[in-house]
Amino acid sequence: MKKNWFDEKIKKFSLIGGYIKPELIPDSVKLDSNENYVISKQFQNDIISSAKKNSDVREYPLGRIDSLIKMISKFTKVSTSMIGVGNGSDQILDLILSNFASKQTKVLTSNPTFGFFEERCKLYSIPLIAIPFSDDMKLNIKDFVVQSKNADILYLDSPNNPTGFQFSKTELQKLIKSFNGLVIIDEAYGEFSEYSLASMVKNQSNLIVVQTLSKSFGLAGLRLGYFIANKKFTDAFMNILQYPYPLSTITIESGILALEKFDIMKKVVNDIKIERKRIIETLQKYDSFQVFDSKANFVLFDAHGSYKRVYSALVEQGISIRKLGKIGNHKGCLRVTIGTKEMNSKFLLAIRDLLG
Ligand SMILES: Cc1ncc(COP(=O)(O)O)c(C=O)c1O
């Protein structure tokens, strides 16, 4: 082996680029990462201070993941034997890709798809078959059916990040039933959408549904994701692929307490959906924008030639949204997260001042 083989390897990694995080704009109205500020700081303070009381971080969290899985089972109404956990759904997706996919396996997905997933495929040299969104930011299920014969893995974020699109339930179920390989349905934004496919796992052994507490429960910083899949996969994942202690004690205890209070999350999700409608309808009033429907906690719009100006003007006002630029034939895409009423009003007022 060549002496400096690792230098070459590092050089290869540096060509990949990696996942691009949003710009850190201190003290901004943060509408750039699909986080949830509608859930109160009190909710978070309460669960974390109770979690602290239940924790002794001198110890590894032996056995506590089982209690967390019992709570997830109660919440999702799926047997504990079909539930696994990870350090955010990012880590679950990564472990699936690094162990089940390779240069030889083709992944069928959409373009755009979840950025982290795409970057991980690049890292592992996993080829993608990516079906583009149409100009009205929709996907055609027929394109997926045609391409499914050429693919080993189907990955869809449902709803999709960054478009907010979700297939109809019957269409997606039909596609999954006809697919022979492994199916990963990423429901990071599932609670904001029309449906979940979690219960389909019971009769569909090739299906993994991935969910998270980052979005609907507003606990992105805890890094707690989970999946629902058949028992054989779940056993292999949890006993062999997953680290022995993937979650911190505080994460496990906080997760248990958050799931006990799921009714608070449900109310928050409802409020976000109402605000989503207000943002879509207000942005639609500007002729210079094309706004796309969304089933998630964010809205995508094309500000065409002025997207950089809109983005910078918002930053000047202390408002941070996500600058995406070109998506298909849309040259100036911006994505805004649905925040609290006050945050959203600040965003909409800044837009009015700029364009109104
Ligand atoms: C589609 C999708 N899946 C997964 C994630 C990651 O979630 P987690 O915080 O659980 O790692 C995100 C976060 O933005 C996402 O957009």
pTM higher than 0.95: yes
Distance 208 CA to ligand 1 centre (A): 15
pLDDT per residue over 72-117, tens digit each? Answer: 999 999 999 999 999 999 999 999 999 999 999 999 999 999 999 9
CB 155 within 8 A of CB 186: yes
Distance 6 CA to ligand 1 centre (A): 31
Beta-strand pair 153-157/290-291: unpaired
In ligand 1, which atom is closest to the CA atom of 220?
Answer: 9
pLDDT per residue over 15-41, tens digit each? Answer: 887 788 888 888 899 999 999 999 999
In ligand 1, which atom is closest to the CA atom of 86?
Answer: 10
Q: How far apart are CA 116 and CA 99, in angstroms?
A: 17
Signed CA dihedral, 315, 318, 319, 322: sign only: positive
- Closest by Cα among 74, 79, 139 to 109: 139
Range 137-141 average pLDDT: 97
Residue ranges lining ligand 1, Cβ < 6 Å: 34, 88-90, 114, 157, 161, 186, 188, 212, 214, 220, 225
Q: How far apart are CA 203 and CA 206, in angstroms?
A: 9
pLDDT band for 66, please (50, 70, 90 cuts).
Answer: very high
pLDDT at 172 over 80: yes
pLDDT per residue over 235-275, tens digit each? Answer: 999 999 999 999 999 999 999 999 999 999 999 999 999 99
Distance 2 CA to ligand 1 centre (A): 39
Domains of the chain, earliest start first: 20-36+263-355 (3.90.1150.10), 42-260 (3.40.640.10)
Q: Which single residue is written with the structure tokens 């989970």?
A: 226
Which residue has the CA at smallest separation from atom 7 of ligand 1? 89
Q: Which pLDDT score, from 0 to 100, does residue 210 have?
A: 98
pLDDT at 3 over 80: no
Which position has the higher pLDDT, 350 or 20?
350
CB under 8 Å to 176, separation ≥6 — which residues? 154, 183, 185, 197, 200, 204, 206, 207
CB under 8 Å to 116, separation ≥6 — which residues? 19, 90, 93
